[in-house]
Amino acid sequence: MPYQIPDIVRSILEPLAEAVFPIGAWTAQKQAPKFNEFIPPIASVPWRATGSPPSLSTTNFAVVKYLELMIDSDSENEALAPRWQQIKANPASFFKTHTGQPMSDWRASRKGLDPSAKFAPFDADSNNFAFWIAAADGSRDPVSRRQFYEACWEPLEAAYRSVMPADPIQWTDFSTKLLANNQFPGEWPTNKSVSSAAFTVQFTIDTLTACLGQKNPAIAASDPLWQRAVLIEIGENRHPDYPYGVPEAEKAVDTFVNTI
């Protein structure tokens, strides 16, 4: 069954996505890009209807649905996390030598090495695994994307209920407090397996990928321009799967020369 984020959490994540990446506020205060300067030129875009204010926001990118799809497709971390846990519990799990020596003997025979070993990627300051939760001893346990986020839903809901943000300014303040990591001691204490700061950073990364990656499966059935919407507003012409060869370069040069 496809993964589904709980409804109450979904209602929190949707405005939180706009708070961490305020596309709506940014688009509303800027001029429309010069669509005729794109290659090929763009006649119009759906979020800037004539005579209406721009209607671009993270909602258009179905960030929460995107997150669900990423959790469903996280087979790599689902498979790797248990193997890494096995190595953490026993660093010699997959140790092999041509002599058949156990790892402790092999290490003891080498100057400067203790007979025992540890796996450095689990250190508290390591970033070797995409998703992790804090272990009781201060080290890091590798987990899947699903396990990471599911550790966040309960404290996130509790933190939300403690302040109940109701407008963009309050949502921005809420996201800032989550990132600060110590603003909700009762609802999201710092000893949780995933800190509020770690959640906010990862959620921001996923929101940015959904809005900027141009390969968002959650909106694959929409007008292809939506995949490029933020970059079009920036004025970025390049995008995946668009061949830009000598003819396009020559046309760009002609356009530039005629303009000046």
Please write the tens of the pLDDT for every residue from 167-193: 999 999 999 999 998 899 999 998 899
Over the stretch 146-164, which tens digit does the pLDDT of each residue have? 999 999 999 999 999 999 9
Q: How many angstroms separate the Cα of 54 from the Cα of each of 31, 36, 234?
A: 10, 18, 14
Judge whether 169 lies within some domain.
yes
Judge whether 231 lies within some domain.
yes
Whether residue 123 sits in one domain with residue 161: no
Whether residue 165 sits in one domain with residue 62: yes
Whether residue 163 sits in one domain with residue 136: no
Judge whether 1 lies within some domain.
no
pTM summary value: 0.81
DSSP codes, 77-142 = HHHHHHHHHHHHH-TTTT---TT---HHHHHHTSTT--SS---GGGSTT---SSSEEE-TTS-EEE
Whether residue 66 sits in one domain with residue 82: no
Whether residue 228 sits in one domain with residue 159: yes
**DSSP-based three-state secondary structure for 51:** coil
Over the stretch 58-84, which tens digit does the pLDDT of each residue have? 999 999 999 999 998 876 666 677 777
| Tokens found for residue 249 | 């370069």
- pLDDT value of residue 78: 67
Whether residue 250 sits in one domain with residue 137: no
- pLDDT value of residue 124: 66
Judge whether 138 lies within some domain.
yes
Whether residue 209 sits in one domain with residue 170: yes
Judge whether 233 lies within some domain.
yes
Amino acid at residue number 3: Y
142 - beta bridge partners? Answer: 132
- pLDDT value of residue 103: 78
Q: What is the DSSP letter of 158?
A: H
Over the stretch 4-55, which tens digit does the pLDDT of each residue have? 999 999 999 999 999 999 999 999 999 999 998 887 889 999 999 876 788 9
Choose the final residue of a domain: 124, 143, 162: 143
Choose the final residue of a domain: 123, 143, 163: 143
Judge whether 2 lies within some domain.
no
- pLDDT value of residue 106: 80
pLDDT at 229 over 80: yes
- pLDDT value of residue 105: 80
* Contact residues for 207 (Cβ-Cβ < 8 A; gap 6+): 17, 20, 21, 58, 63
Measure the CA–CA gap between 89 and 86, rounded to whole angstroms. Answer: 5
Number of domains in the chain: 2
- Average pLDDT taken over every residue of the chain: 87
pLDDT at 114 over 90: no
Whether residue 49 sits in one domain with residue 14: yes
* Percent with pLDDT over 70 in the chain: 93
Whether residue 153 sits in one domain with residue 223: yes
The whole-number average pLDDT for the span 205-219 is: 94
Q: How many angstroms separate the Cα of 44 from the Cα of each of 41, 50, 158, 229, 232?
A: 9, 9, 43, 11, 11
Judge whether 235 lies within some domain.
yes
- pLDDT value of residue 17: 98
Q: Which of 73, 115, 117 is nearest to 94 (CA)?
A: 117
* Percent with pLDDT over 90 in the chain: 52
Choose the final residue of a domain: 99, 115, 143: 143
Residue owning tokens 């600060």 = 180
Judge whether 177 lies within some domain.
yes
- pLDDT value of residue 86: 76
Whether residue 130 sits in one domain with residue 69: no
Measure the CA–CA gap between 194 and 200, rounded to whole angstroms. Answer: 10
Whether residue 234 sits in one domain with residue 155: yes
Measure the CA–CA gap between 222 and 211, rounded to whole angstroms. Answer: 14
Whether residue 161 sits in one domain with residue 57: yes
Rounded CA Rg of the chain: 24
- pLDDT value of residue 95: 74
132 - beta bridge partners? Answer: 142
Q: Which of 8, 58, 60 is nearest to 164 (CA)?
A: 8
Residue 210 structural domain:
7-74+146-259
